[in-house]
Structure 1
Amino acid sequence: MIGRLRHREQAEAAALHPHAGRPPKPGLGPRVLAEIAAGGAVGALARHLLTKAIPSSADGFPWNTFTVNMLGCLVMGILTTYLLGGRPHALARPFAVTGYLGGFTTFSHLIDGIYTLGSDGRAGLGVGYAAASVLLGWVAVAVGLVLGRRIPHRDAGERT
């Protein structure tokens, strides 16, 4: 498993930095910052709308945050594999991964949910929520990685 992870990291580095072994110039240009900001705004809006659409649980389990985070993990896996397997637009990763998924998923709400469950006397449910979030999030990323490999890529010679 460690070997596969190391290979994935090397592939990601090569795909993201195709500069013949040279690292990219540091810093972010205005266009990349705009893409991240736009993706973050769209992701945050999608999170807000989805969390409002999912009803509260009678036992206090934060299904809305849990659902959003699991969807975010699944999409992270899909995008990671897809973006590494082809020649995506240079701004696809800043918009979709850093911006959109950064705005869509919410670690702070996860922690707030765990704290709220614990402070309301439901520590066992809080621990279960934390464990389920980590374990099922990992599974969702793994499933996303598999699904991402199934998305066809255009050939390098094709023009858009």
Structure 2
Amino acid sequence: MKVSSPKIPLTPEEKLNLKKCKIKLHEIADMDIMNLSQCLQSSFERANYLRGLAQFQTVPSIGPKVAKRLVDLGYYSLQEVKTEEGADLINRLEERIGYWEDPCLEDSFRCIVHHANHPESNKSWFDFTPDRKSYREQYGYPTTRPTIAWYEKKKNTNN
């Protein structure tokens, strides 16, 4: 099976440093933060950020944009999301950014939490759509949910 490389925003210097350390992009997800920091010649925080992006992209069907949304919430590893709920993650994100996201992002968050607890799983984000729909039908959304949708936000920023 081909191992895919994560898409992470490395500087040219960081790319060169990884090459000097003989580290491939797909290895970053499993690296010790201190070792990664030393190899990149970067701060611990920067190494943690990059490893988080890489680690979330190890989950089937999860790409760099979804990984970044989770890191933006302050999660940097699959271990950290093990006890979370996809619905809670999306609720917190939407409150933080001020608009509601595409419902598929909640499916993706549910997928990541699932994989944190079942690393051998091959499920993709779309396998969690029925769970989300059922949950939202039963519990709805928080009363504090923003009223602006992601597509309205994009339309307003393009004007």
Q: TM-score, normalised by structure 2?
A: 0.24
Which structure would you say has the larger Rg? 1
Q: TM-score, normalised by structure 1?
A: 0.24
